[in-house]
Amino acid sequence: MIGYIKSHVVRWVVPLAAVMTVLLLGSYDLRGADPTVQVRFDASKAGPRVVESLTEERILRDYRFAWTSLTQAMEYNTLDPLEGPFVGTAKQWLAQTVVSQRQTGLRSQYTQQNHTLEAVFYAPEGDVIELHDTAEYHLQVLDGDKEIHNEQVIVRYVVLMTPAADRWVIRQMQAVPQF
């Protein structure tokens, strides 16, 4: 009998635990990497400083995380996701939007996001980078449950990012009609 139980434990519980571990690790790894936020990043044209490959990876990771956070903040009208990826003017504007949405009962959903990100300026000392993001997404604005706006749109953003202690943060994010 004990042998039977042991064989079942080995046959089912161990693989199940392995699968759960992989899933948990996977979900941790994908923290801030919402698969609906796609970002392509080209840093080859930045100057005067060359963007180092590790910096390029970090900016890509942090920019994508910032948009995931923005999406959550705008959809659920919560300020918490803005802590960390945004500072300065960008954070202030987004926080104001969230507070205004709360007051008016509105919320905004950004889905199917595809960002084509290009670095256009990287300061000589590496303390600021300017990016151009051609963002295509689906924007839905709701008043309660009533849809008041729905569009598939391409919006161009001029973005200033600066390095913080452990990540790159968005300091300025300004939509423009054209670059």
Partner 1 sequence: MTLAQDPHLPTSAVAGDETTISTSGNGQAILYLVGPGVASKREISLGEDIHLPSRELQNAGRYVVSVCSDACRSGSFYVAAAEPASLTFLVHPSRVPVGLSDAISGVALPFDPFHNLVRVPMAITFQLTSGKTAMMSRSVQTQDGVAWFRTSSGKDAGVLHVVAAVDELSARRAVQQVASEPCNLRIKGQRTPKAILVETEPVRDCSGNPVPDGTIVTFTAAEADGKSTVDAPIKQGVARAQIIVTKAAVISAASGVVMGNELRLGAQP
Instruction: Give the binding site for partner 1 (CB under 8 A).
Output: 48, 88-89, 92-94, 96-97, 100-101, 103-104, 106, 108, 120-121, 123-125, 127-128, 130, 132, 139, 141, 143, 146-149, 151, 153, 155, 158, 160, 172, 174-177, 179
Least spacing, CB of residue 92 vs partner 1, in Å: 7
Least spacing, CB of residue 144 vs partner 1, in Å: 11
CA distances from 29 to 22, 26, 104, 169 (A): 10, 5, 36, 20
Least spacing, CB of residue 137 vs partner 1, in Å: 12
Collapse the DSSP code of 97 into the 3-class scheme (helix H, G, I; strand E, B; otherwise coil) and give the result.
helix
Closer residue to partner 1 in complex, CB, 8/149: 149
> Residue 86: which region, alpha, beta or left (left: phi > 0; alpha: psi -120 to 50)?
beta
How does DSSP classify residue 123? -
